[in-house]
Amino acid sequence: MYRETEQRRHILQELRACSDHPSADQLFGRLRKRLPRISLATVYRNLELLVAQGKIQRLDPGPKRGRYDGVATPHPHFRCIACGKIEDVENAPGAPTLGTGRGWLGSRRLLGSRIEYFGLCLKCATKV
């Protein structure tokens, strides 16, 4: 069990207030306004701790650095392949449930699933 520090509380509050799924660097820039003494290493360490505790999600949008979502429950995302913007997808069907009986899944340990749609966001689509 980890104690809740002031920095961790601010990180979680800031992330949950975001709708743009920021990277650790982006979150660090936002937090410096309120916590000028916070370090980037502290932000990274606490984000990974919050992921491990199941309080937030880490999104892995390809070759770029991980992005974070303050909503811990699984939900679909849309990722723009041009600018990298990540958005929540409203009213999209969730991941199909897989039976835990025999067969393919029976010999594996399923830890989760992720649905991600990709394409061009509105801004990038109008440039094409």
Q: Are the beta carbons of 46 and 7 closer than 8 angstroms?
A: yes
Max avg pLDDT among 2-6, 58-62, 83-87, 121-125? 121-125
Q: Are the beta carbons of 49 and 8 closer than 8 angstroms?
A: yes
Place of tokens 């029976």: 106
For residue 42, which phi and psi values (nearest 5 degrees)?
-65, -40
Using DSSP's 3-state secondary structure scheme, residue 34 falls into coil
| Domain ranges for the chain | 1-72, 74-128
CATH of domain 1-72: 1.10.10.10
> What is the per-residue pLDDT for 14?
95
Q: How confident is the model at residue 128 (pLDDT cuts 50, 70, 90)?
A: confident
Q: Are the beta carbons of 66 and 26 closer than 8 angstroms?
A: no
State in Å, rounded, how far the first CA of the chain is from the last one.
50
Beta strand spans in the chain (E)? 57-59, 67-69, 77-80, 86-88, 116-119
> What is the per-residue pLDDT for 1?
63
> What is the per-residue pLDDT for 32?
94
> What is the per-residue pLDDT for 102?
60
**Among candidate residues 88, 40, 34, the one with its CA nearest the CA of residue 65:** 40
Tell me how far the alpha carbon of residue 55 is from its chain's centroid.
11
> What is the per-residue pLDDT for 97?
67
pLDDT tens-place string over residues 24-83? 999 999 999 999 999 999 999 999 999 999 999 988 755 557 899 999 888 899 999 999
> What is the per-residue pLDDT for 115?
85
> What is the per-residue pLDDT for 74?
82
- How would CATH label the architecture of 74-128? 2-Layer Sandwich (3.30)
